[in-house]
Structure 1
Amino acid sequence: MRGLRRWWDDTAGGLPATFWYLWSGLLINRAGAFALLFLSLYLTAARDAPPSLAGLVVGAYGIGGAAGTLLGGVLADRWGRRATLLAAHLAAAGLMAALAFSTHLAVIAVLATLVGVAHSMPSPAFVAAIVDVVPEARRSRAFNLQFWAFNLGMAVASLLAGILAEASFTALFLVDAGATLAAAVVIALKVPETLTRRPALTPRAAAGRRPGLHTALTDRTFLVFVGLTFLLAVLTMQTSTIMPLAMREDGLRPSAYGLVVALGGALIVAGQLFVPRLIEPYRKSNVLAVSTGLMALGFGALTVADGLPLYLGAAVVWTVGQMLAAPPNAQINADLAPPRLRARYQSVFYLTFPAASFVAPALGGLSLEHLGERHWLVVGALGLLAAAGHLLAGPRRERRVAALRAAAAEPVRSAR
């Protein structure tokens, strides 16, 4: 019993109440965010759209997501985290309700684009708010819990989506809207504004160029880290884009693909809470190098996979890599951002995911078509490249983080 209590303290102890309300809002949001999982099926089955048009509408959602990520970052630093979260959740709930009753394909396409904007806006604000309220020493466990909640919510969403889609597509969109509205209520009632307003700039500082989104886009140390995260995201996207095609070529049924994906989700839900204690003694750059190396090994092993057991074994390897990578990746991203620009930095960081969702299928499909099973050797090489990049870039990142901490502490020392 004492050992269990110690594990709980190491995993989730010492986190403020505001974090747990943010965590609850994220979990509710993810558990209810299932309508878009079936958007292409809805368009083809219920609205008689050809597959090509359905693909364009789903792609429009992704374009909206990229725009929403940047917009959410800017607004979270200007309006505040709470205001941005509320605006995004309320807008998403209204748009999903409108989708439930829309019949014209052009209107559905516009609504899908706007839903993409609204769905992506909260991500930078969520992470910035967590950094605002969680002490630095406990951020790794906070980000680990965030990653766990995200995956738990998606697992619940996948289960509910299939049930609701068979009953009614209208119900699918309306329940999604209701869950989003419920998350907004939690935020409205329990989450205070976490953004600390900074003193006005001095006349001399105001005369220069004010820091903004361009600061993140020209920060070389940060952009190297974003580039390495993009490579990691390209590897992760293989499971939902190229792997199903490879499994079909190996003569495996869709149910086999579902089993591989379900195994990864089950491992994350069951094991993610044990990760912080496991990686705590090690440098973040080393953990990311090992985790990315494991992902490279897992996907590279698909070169020789021709049956379900090998796919399942490879999935265990790359999922462990994903689990190890999540906390340090999020914490480094938070550590590299100046306090005044936290959400803007988050928005640039989160652009890696829509970018990877485009690059992975676009180039991966060509690679699989022309290289066959050797495609997985290319994917493995990308993972090893990212692992080496983390080892090389780690010392410079650590010096940058130390400098930011010293700069943040300077006003405190001066005030004494």
Structure 2
Amino acid sequence: MSAGTRPAGAGRRIELGLRHNAAQFTLLVVVNALVGGMLGQERTVLPLLGQEEFGITAYTAGLSFILAFGIAKAATNYFAGTWSDRFGRKPVLVAGWLVAVPVPFMLIWAPSWTWIIVANVLLGISQGLTWSTTVVMKIDLVGPARRGLAMGLNEAAGYAAVAGTALATGYVAESYGLRPEPFFLGIAFAALGLGLSTLGVRETRDHARLEATGHVTRADGRHDHLHGDLTDGQVFVQTSFKEPALSSASQAGLVNNLNDGLAWGLFPILFAGAGLSVGRIGILAALYPAVWGVGQLVTGALSDRWGRKWLIASGMCLQALALGLIALAGSFTLWAVAAALLGAGTAMVYPTLLASIGDVAHPAWRARAVGVYRLWRDGGFAVGALLAGLVADALGVAAAVWTVAALTAVSGLVVAVRMYETHHRPDAPTTEEMTNG
């Protein structure tokens, strides 16, 4: 038996690598696409629903559903990592889908905006459990060599589904109205996701344990102080504040989703105010996550070859430029160009941040580190909704976009200054070796 395999009972061997685990990996990609679809059902329709059916006129109040979603998802991300270490990955995944089942029905039948907010609390909990767990499971399966590619495939599936569903619901809403037909897709996604996760997905915790037994330290000693198991508190401190790469990734993730919260909540209202039809708003709402999703098929693999740091820093700066263009533009064509640039910048950042967390965190506490990172990252939805709403109410939508653009540029500079390159190939020379010839 090779060093990279171990018996797993029932005649199965545990092996690391994308090729060895292709069937399970592919199934998890499909499951995460369904997770993304649950989020995509809201991207075009819900901001317009708040204005047209519930009479929500204040931006801060209109963005309350994103605030509720972000807080719920961020908190659940943290517990998802801890629970997946304690109880296993699959039970957490299935639990997430069970929480998702009532969401589309609540959106269809909601008699008040309060129901919409409660539905988004449930959606946030579900997304935190399901998306976090599919991330951890894919990292478990592929091992260290193809981590960037794995995250690119995972996030591409999720956000391509967000885009496709946003586009589809826009066209459905234009033809049939804002309710109930656009949310029928969510009912189908929840049923499929629960069924596949329950019947098809297998537990991957043993893959992480196998990787931990053969974990190779960096030759430059960069992570020597992080070896072995850490307490939950130590993982939180290292990931949030202390370890330079982990903390840089956490702040960049928060700001990235801060501008996504802005795009989700205010862009449809901005475009509608310019006289665009619901169908055209759906195209713009879909274009950004579509480029983001498909682009990750390339950027995740590139980060395995080129490294993580500069893809992240340059991607944040590209997002800032795209947001500035959105604030300046006033036509469908320019907004489409800006949305594509915003998606490209996000594609450079999103899988690469997750891969960098996997690079640094030891397999024994990696699931918890992913949970802490995603706590900060998805907390950006809440921060973005609150900040964008307050600024938009006080100074207008364009001022809110400019504010978020400036924060995104600063975040990219933080990565450039504070973060080190995390992807260290075992066969690559260290900085000291290159310096000494």
Q: Shorter-chain TM-score category?
A: 0.7 to 0.9
SS at match of 1:363: helix
Instruction: Quote the offset at 1:372 in angstroms.
Output: 7.5
The answer to whether the aligner puts 1:188 opposite 2:198 as a matched pair is yes
Partner residue, 1:123: 131
- With over 3 angstroms needed to count, the CA separation of the structure-2 counterparts of 1:308 and 1:153, relative to structure 1, is closer
Q: Indicate conservation of the 8 Å contact 1:15/1:138, yes or no.
A: no
Indicate yes or no: 2:360 matched with 1:336. Answer: yes
1:215 to 234, 239, 244: 234
Note if contact 2:152-2:301 (Cα within 8 Å) is conserved in structure 1.
no
Matched, 1:28 2:34: yes
Aligned to 2:225: none
Alignment match of 1:89 (pick from 92, 97, 110)? 97
Read off the aligned partner of 1:186 and give its amino acid letter.
L
Correspondence for 1:151: 159
- Structure 2 CA distance, aligned partners of 1:378 and 1:54? 19
Amino acid across the alignment from 2:320: A
Normalised by the length of structure 1, the TM-score is 0.75
Question: Which residue does 1:323 correspond to in 2?
Answer: 347
> In the alignment, is residue 179 of structure 1 matched against residue 189 of structure 2?
yes
Going from structure 1 to structure 2, the CA distance change for 1:90 and 1:227 (only over 3 Å counts) comes to: same
1:307 to 2:326 alignment = no
Among all aligned residue pairs of Structure 1 and Structure 2, give the percentage whose two residues are the same amino acid. Answer: 21
Contact 2:74 2:376 in 1 (8 A): no
Equivalent AA in structure 2 for residue 82 of structure 1: K
Q: Which residue of 1 aligns with 2:276?
A: 253
Query: Which of 370, 384, 387 is the equivalent residue of 2:409?
Result: 384
**Residues 129 and 257 of structure 1: CA distance in aligned 2, closer, same or farther (over 3 Å):** same
**1:91 partner letter:** V
Contact between 1:268 and 1:319, CA under 8 Å: does it hold in 2?
Answer: yes
What is the distance in 2 between the residues matched to 1:374 and 1:94?
Answer: 37
Question: What is the match of residue 287 of structure 2?
Answer: 263
CA distance in 2, matches of 1:15, 1:132: 10
Higher helix share: 1
Structure 1 stretches lacking a partner, 5+ long: 1-11, 200-209, 403-416
Counterpart AA for 2:80: G
* Aligned-partner Cα distance in 2 for 1:356–1:147: 17
- Residues 256 and 377, structure 2, Cα contact 8 Å, conserved in 1: no
Amino acid at match of 1:214: G
CA–CA separation in structure 2 for the residues paired with 1:173 and 1:313: 28
After superposition, the Cα gap between the structure-2 partners of 1:129 and 1:67, relative to the gap in structure 1 and judged at 3 Å, is: same
Q: Is the 8 A contact 1:152 1:269 kept in 2?
A: yes
* Structure 2 CA distance for aligned equivalents of residues 392 and 287 of structure 1: 14
Q: Mean alpha-carbon deviation: is it higher for 31-40 or for 346-355?
A: 31-40
Does structure 2 retain, via aligned residues, the 8 Å contact 1:124–1:346?
Answer: yes
Q: Secondary structure at the match of 1:351?
A: helix
Alignment check: 8 A CA contact 1:124 1:344 kept: no
**Which whole-Å CA distance do the structure 2 matches of 1:83 and 1:359 have between them?**
30
For 1:119 and 1:106, locate their aligned partners in 2 and report how far apart those are by CA, in whole Å: 20
Q: Report what 2:251 is aligned to.
A: 227
Amino acid at match of 1:30: G
Helix, strand or coil for the counterpart of 1:136?
coil
Query: Structure 2 length as normaliser, TM-score?
Result: 0.72
C-alpha distance in structure 1 between counterparts of 2:138 and 2:26, whole Å: 10
**Among residues 307, 319, 326, which one is paired with 1:295 in the alignment?**
319
Q: 1:252-287, CA deviations, whole angstroms, 9 ceiling, x for partnerless residues? A: 535554443333344345554343555554221011
Contact 1:252–1:308 under 8 Å retained in 2: no
Determine the structure 2 residue equivalent to 1:80.
88
Worse-matched range after superposition: 96-105 or 65-74: 96-105
Q: How many residues align?
A: 377
